[in-house]
Amino acid sequence: MSTHFSVLKNDSNSGARLGRLVTAHGVIETPCFMPVGTQGTVKAMLPRDLKDLGCQILLANTYHLYLRPGHELIRNLGGLHRFMAWNGPILTDRGGYQVFSLGAMRKILEDGARFQSHLDGSSHLLTPEKTVEIQEALGSDIAMVLDECIPHDATRDYVQTSTERTVRWAERCLRVRRKPEQLMFGIVQGGLFEDLRRWCVDTMTPMPFDGFAVGGLGVGESEEQLNQIGGFTAGLLPSGRPRYLMGVGRPQDIVKAARAGFDMFDCVIPTRNARNGTLFTWHGKINIKRAEFAADLRPLDETCDCYCCGNFSRAYLRHLYMAGEILSSQLNSLHNLYFYHRLMDKCREAIRTGRSELWPQLAEASA
C-alpha cells in the first residue's frame, strides 16, 4: 500500500475509483488529466490560466529538458517549479516515447537508449541512472522509470525481450533513487500480449514503487486493442497505488479507461488539436476552420462556461485561426483544456454519486 495514495470510493458497477494522491506540491483528486508541458510550458497557456481552469498537475518531459536548457541549469535556478512558475505538482515523463519516435536516430542497448539529439545531432546515452539523475535535478513530484516504448506491431520475441529489459531498467532506477519525497512510478510494458503484461505486472508490483503506469498503448493499435489491453492490465495492478495510463487522450478513451480503474491520464491531443482548429464540445467536435462559421455569432458551446465560450463567437474564433493570430491558439487551448477538466469532474462525480448511467452519456458526448 502507498502512504501517498488512498482510494476514497469504488464504483459499484465498474472498476472506477475516486482517489487522493498526496505529493510534495499538493494533493490531487483522481481520476485526473495532466496537460502536457513538454518543455516546461503548456503551449499557448499561462500558468495562471491553468490554475483557473482547475488543472491539478502538469507533465514535463525529461528528454526535452535534458537537451534544452539542461537539468543542471534548472537545478541551479531553483528547480523546475520555480523555473516555470508553477507551484503545483509536476510529473516528469522519462523520455521513452520521445526516444521511440526518433526511429533510426536511436538504438536500444542493455545499458540504455543511445540517440542523436533532434536539435543538433549530438550523441547521448540515456540510462536508467541518468533518467533518475535528471528528474531529481528537475525536482518534479513524480518521476518515471526508463522503459522502451514498444511499437504496436512488434513481434512477440521483440516484445518479450524489451519487456524483460524494462523490468531490469526499473530495478536500476530504484537502486540509484536518492529523493524519497519524489514519488517514483514503475512502467508496465508487454505490448498486445496479455501473458507478457501479466508477467510484467507480477514481476514489477512487488518492487517499492509509489504507483504504476501502463505504457505502450496509444501508439497505433486499434481502439478495440487499446480498450482490451488497457482494461486487462488495469485489473492486474494493485488497488492501493495510483494507476497511470500514459499518452492516451481521446476523451472517449479516457472515460473508458477511468471506468476500467485508471486514475491518471495525459496527452497532447487537447492542445495540439486546439492549435489545429479542432475544438471539443459536449455536442461533438467542431472544426473551426469551416466556412460555415464565418458569420456564426453563437458561442463555441452554449453549455460551456469557460472564458472563451463566455466572450467570443464562433465567427471570431474562425477569424483568428484564418488570420494566424496567436490569440487563436490561446483561446482554443483554454477551451479544450477546460473541456477536459470538466470531463474529469464529471467522471469523479459519477463515482462519488454512484450514478452509473452517466458513464455512457459521458463517452457518447465526448466522442
Tens digit of each residue's pLDDT (9 = 90 or more) over 278-328? 999 999 999 999 999 999 999 999 999 999 999 999 999 999 999 999 999
Alpha helices in 307-357 (DSSP H): 307-311, 314-323, 326-353
In the chain, the domains with their CATH numbers are: 23-267 (3.20.20.105), 268-367 (no CATH)
Q: Name which of 338, 241, 326, 348 is nearest 35 in CA terms.
A: 338
For residue 293, what are the β-bridge partners? Answer: none
Out of 253, 263, 266, 301, pick the active-site residue.
266
Phi and psi torsions of 44, nearest 5°: 70, 10
pLDDT at residue 210 above 90?
Answer: yes
Q: What's the pLDDT at 356?
A: 78
Q: What's the pLDDT at 299?
A: 98
Tens digit of each residue's pLDDT (9 = 90 or more) over 225-244? 999 999 999 999 999 999 99
Out of 11, 93, 141, 147, pick the active-site residue.
93
Q: Is 139 left (phi over 0), alpha (psi -120 to 50) or beta?
A: left
- Cis ω on the peptide bond leading into residue 128 (within 30° of 0)? no
Q: What's the pLDDT at 365?
A: 67
Q: Does the pTM of the predicted model rise above 0.85?
A: yes
CA–CA distance, 20 with 26 (Å, rounded to integer) = 10
pLDDT at residue 48 above 90?
Answer: yes
User: Catalytic site residue 266?
Assistant: yes
Quote the mean pLDDT of the chain: 95
CB atoms within 10 A of CB 151: 16
Tens digit of each residue's pLDDT (9 = 90 or more) over 146-197? 999 899 999 999 999 999 999 999 999 999 999 999 999 999 999 999 999 9
Q: What's the pLDDT at 98?
A: 67
CA–CA distance, 296 with 317 (Å, rounded to integer) = 10
User: Catalytic site residue 111?
Assistant: no
Average pLDDT over residues 258-265: 98
In what order do the strands lie in the sheet containing 113-116? 106-108, 113-116, 123-126
**Which residues are CB-neighbours of 70 under 8 A, at least 6 positions away?**
none
Q: What's the pLDDT at 357?
A: 81
Q: What's the pLDDT at 342?
A: 96
DSSP string covering 262-289: --EEEESHHHHHHHTTEE--BTB-EETT
